Structure 1
Amino acid sequence: MQEQSDHPLTPGLTARLEMTVTDADTAQAVGSGDVPVLGTPRVLALAEAATVAATARQLPAGSTTVGTRVELRHLAPTPVGRTVTAQARLTSVDRRRLVFTVTVTEGDQEVAAGEVERVLVDRHRFVERAGQTS
């Protein structure tokens, strides 16, 4: 059961980001493999950036979101020089928990797909707690 919240984040928010693959984005460069194609960590970073962009204008003052869970299938290689597009759609809001579906495409080809979960937090409190040592 989804619970209503007092923040303006509602399912349906979307964002789309593009990136042209460079040598710095390859699996070789980021240490996730030894081939000169778009590395999975960069695919994930682009997908997460799209989720952040989807909610950026709707966040309550002093709030931000942080990633808590990712499920991503990297389905096809993308060579240097090609452009990929990440699309994120907010599909579920349960109090502070936000779930997004994400896809990354190159033209008509699906490069990656999955789900990203983020949580709405008070930015100041989060940074303060992160700086504390245990």
Structure 2
Amino acid sequence: MSAGTELPVGLVGTVTADVTHADTARALGSGDVLVLGTPRVLSLVEAATVAAVSERLPEERTSVGTDVALAHTAPSPVGARVVATAELTEVSGRHLTFTVELSQDGSRVAHGTVQRAVVSRQRFEGA
């Protein structure tokens, strides 16, 4: 695989999580309320981007995050189940663009885009 160009637009990945106290803004230091913290939202949508393409990349390749635009628009309390979804919407050489969303009970609580680059795993793991 030369870069990422063999990845088809339209790949989708999802990640589901139950919000715990460790996921809250207070626990993460990003605020002082007991609702899902934005850093955890970012982690979940990034995990969904990885899930969308990881099975399609050869073992010697991986992807790394390069840019994020994220709007976190509604709270999710401890105990809520959230679903992160990422769809690969653009492939330009080794650069991948995903549309991402986090929902709770079918309602959107965050949305945005995540860009990743396909890279040599060896380069990043130092092997």
- TM-score category of the 2 structures, normalised to the smaller one: over 0.9
5+ long unaligned stretches in structure 1: 130-134
Q: CA RMSD in A?
A: 1.7
Residues 13 and 119 (structure 1), Cα distance of their counterparts in 2 relative to 1, 3 Å cut: same
Rg larger in structure:
1
Q: How far 1:122 sits from its partner (Å)?
A: 0.4
Aligned partner (choices 18, 42, 60) of residue 62 of structure 1: 60
Instruction: Tell me the CA shift for residue 128 of structure 1.
Output: 2.5
Runs of 4+ in structure 1 over 2 Å off: 5-8, 126-129
Partner residue, 1:46: 44
Aligned to 1:103: 101
**Structure 2: tracts of 5 or more residues without a match:** none
Matches within 5 A, 1:65-84: 65-84=63-82
CA displacement, residues 80-113 of structure 1 (integer Å, 9 cap, x when unaligned) = 0000000100000000000000000001211100
2:15 to 14, 17, 23: 17
State the AA in 2 paired with 1:8. E
Offset at 1:6?
Answer: 7.0
SS of equivalent residue, structure 2 residue 55: helix
Per the alignment, do residues 127 and 6 of structure 1 end up closer, same or farther by CA in structure 2, a change over 3 Å counting? closer
Q: Report the equivalent of 1:92.
A: 90
Which amino acid in structure 1 is aligned with residue 95 of structure 2?
A: R
Matched pairs, number: 126
2:115 to 111, 114, 117: 117
The TM-score with structure 1 as length reference comes to 0.89
TM-score, L = length of structure 2: 0.94
Partner of 2:125: 127
Q: Distance in 2 between matches of 1:99 and 1:124?
A: 23
What amino acid does structure 1 have at the position aligned with 2:24? T
Deviation, structure 1 residue 61 = 2.9
Contact 1:7 1:59 in 2 (8 A): no
Distance in 1, matches of 2:72 and 2:33, equals: 14
Q: Secondary structure at the match of 2:63?
A: strand
Give the counterpart of 2:25 among 24, 27, 36. 27
Residue 65 of structure 2 aligns to a residue whose secondary structure is strand
Offset of residue 8 of structure 1: 2.8
